[in-house]
């Protein structure tokens, strides 16, 4: 009985070792592709000029509307007309959020 048990144990352990070796060598044989670029931004920039409410002056200024498609947040970037030699930098004005989930819920009704 000891000869059969010993042979069975050796065969079983050999099969286990071969399967573990296959699992360990698989990444070396077939490596996973690595992507170095960041996730693409999901911003939509409205074409043309939109009038954006300016909370400082309580008037509307021409600018660009930008919507983050992941969160639904809408931002307005007023146009800046520069007199000096430095490039202008437009600061965003938070306009609100689009409720995309409600849009999907209304579509299901």
pTM as predicted: 0.54
pLDDT for residue 3 is more than 70: no
What are the tens digits of pLDDT across the range 18-77? 999 999 998 888 888 877 776 777 899 999 999 998 777 788 889 999 999 888 899 999
Residue 98 CB contacts under 8 Å (≥ 6 apart), including other chains: 67, 72, 73, 74
pLDDT band at 2 (very low <50, low <70, confident <90, very high): low
Report in angstroms the alpha-carbon separations of 16 from 26, 63, 75: 16, 67, 59
């Amino acid at each position: 009985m000891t000869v059969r048990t010993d042979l069975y144990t050796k065969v079983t352990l050999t099969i286990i070792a071969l399967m573990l070796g296959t699992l360990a060598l698989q990444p070396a044989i077939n490596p996973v592709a690595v992507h170095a670029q960041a996730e693409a931004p999901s911003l939509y920039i409205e074409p043309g000029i939109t009038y954006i409410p300016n909370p400082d002056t309580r008037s509307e200024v021409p600018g660009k509307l930008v919507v983050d498609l992941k969160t639904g947040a809408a931002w307005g970037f007023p146009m800046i007309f520069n007199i000096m030699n430095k490039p202008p930098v437009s600061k965003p004005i938070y306009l609100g959020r689009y409720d995309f989930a409600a849009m999907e819920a209304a579509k299901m009704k």
